[in-house]
Chains A and B, each alone.
Chain A
Amino acid sequence: MKGDKIPDQHHIARYCKPTHAPDGQIQATAFMLRLGEENLSINCLELLNCSGRENEVAQLQTIYATKLSVGARAKIAVLNVGEVRNHVLDESPDRRNLKVLHDPQSEDPSHSGIYNLREDDELIAELIL
C-alpha cells in the first residue's frame, strides 16, 4: 500500500542507466536525484512475489522494458534496505534517516522510493554505493 515502510530485511533494486555505470561499474550517480525529483525510484524485490533472485530480476527486466528505454549496458543494483539505511544513518555527517516507502504504480506494483534525499546529495549517494 502506498506509503508503507519497506521492512529493513527486504531488498531493493535500482535501475542504473549506462551513463551511471560506465565500464560496467555502478557509480554514485545512480543514486542521485534528478532536479525536481521527490524520491529515488526503486523496486522492492520481495513485493514482486517471485521465487528466487533470478526470477525477481527477470521480472524486473520485464517491468523495465515496459517503462524505460533500456540501455545495452544498463545494470541493476540490488541493495538490502536495512544495511543501506543504517550505513547512511551512521556514517552521514547529518545522520540522515532515509525512508524506503512503497509507491506502487498501476503497471508496477512493487515500485517504491527512497525518500529524504536531496538534489545536492553527492555524499549520501557515495555512501549508498
Chain B
Amino acid sequence: MPEIDLLTYDRWLVASRKASTAYGNRFLSEDPTGEEPYSGAWNLERGQYQQKRPYSLTPAIGQGTIDDLISGYFKVKDPFTQADLVETEEEQLQEIIFKLRTSPYISCREVADRLLTLFNDAKEDDPMSIGIVLGSLRNFYNFFQLYTDLKCPSISLTPDNNIYISWRAKKNRVFSVHFLPSADVRFVIFKPNDRHPEKQIRLSGTATADILKETVLPYGVWSWISE
C-alpha cells in the first residue's frame, strides 16, 4: 500500500485513510451549518423541505378537495420541461429517503441523514444535477428493505451520482456495493487469505441486489456487516 503521509498544519483539517493524505482548509471549510448550502436544500425533518413551489403528499381518499389532489406539478402551466423532470425526480427522491427514515425494518437509522447530506452536497456541486440517481436510490432502498440487520455503511456517490456503500473491518476486510440504476449491483470484496496470512483475497462481481447475500455467501461477508 502507498505510504501514509500525514501532514498536519494548523490551517489544514486532515482526514486520511491509509493510502492518502487529505487536506481541507478553512477556505474550503466555511461552515455552512445553519444555512442552506444551496437554495433548494432539504432539511432533515419532513415538512421542512425548502420547496420552491407547492408540494404536498398525495392526500388520502376523502381528504381535501379535487384542487388539493391536483396540486403541485399538475398546476404547472408551461409545457413539461427538463426542469419539471428534475423536480419530479427530486420529489421521488425525497419520498424514498423519507421512507428510509421512517421504515421500522431498517436497522441503520442514519442512512437517510447520510443520503440527504450527499444529495445536498451533490446539488451544491452542480445545481442542475439530479443529486442522486433515482434508480440507484430505489435499488439501495430495496436492498435495505430486504436485509434489515445491516450495520451502517459508509455511503458516497460515484462520479455518475450512483450510491456506493462500503463496510470496512479489521484485517483489511472490505465489502463495497455500487448500486446501479437498474436492479444490478457491482460489488468488491477484500478479505484475509486464511491459509496465507500475508496475502489477501480480492474479488469483484455483478449481481442483482436481491441475490447479493447468496452470491457473496462463500466469502463470509454477511457475518461482519450485519448486527
Contacts and interface: CB of A to CB of B under 8 A. Distances in A.
B24 A73 contact: yes
B202 A27 contact: no
B25 A61 contact: yes
B22 interface: yes
Nearest to A23: B154
Nearest to A80: B2
Could you say which interface size class chain A belongs to?
35 or more
A14 B30 CA distance: 21
A5 B3 CA distance: 21
B78 interface: no
A32 interface: yes
Contacts of B17: 25-26, 129
B114 interface: yes
B169 to A, nearest CB: 14
Nearest to B12: A57
B23 A32 contact: no
B193 to A, nearest CB: 12
A128 B19 contact: yes
Nearest to B165: A27
Nearest to B127: A69
A128 to B, nearest CB: 7
B116 to A, nearest CB: 11
A19 B9 contact: no
B22 to A, nearest CB: 4
Interface in A63-109: 69-80, 83-84, 87, 91-93
Interface string B1-30: 111010101001101111111111101111
A77 B164 CA distance: 19
Interface string A20-36: 11111111110011110
Contacts of A35: 159-160
**Nearest 9 CB-CB pairs, A to B?**
A83-B2, A34-B159, A24-B15, A75-B22, A77-B20, A18-B121, A27-B156, A19-B157, A123-B204
21 contacts: A18-B124, A18-B125, A22-B156, A26-B17, A28-B176, A29-B157, A37-B159, A69-B124, A72-B29, A73-B24, A73-B121, A74-B28, A75-B22, A78-B23, A80-B2, A83-B3, A84-B2, A87-B19, A126-B190, A129-B18, A129-B19
Interface of A: 14, 16-29, 32-35, 37, 53-54, 57, 61, 69-80, 83-84, 87, 91-93, 120, 122-123, 126-129
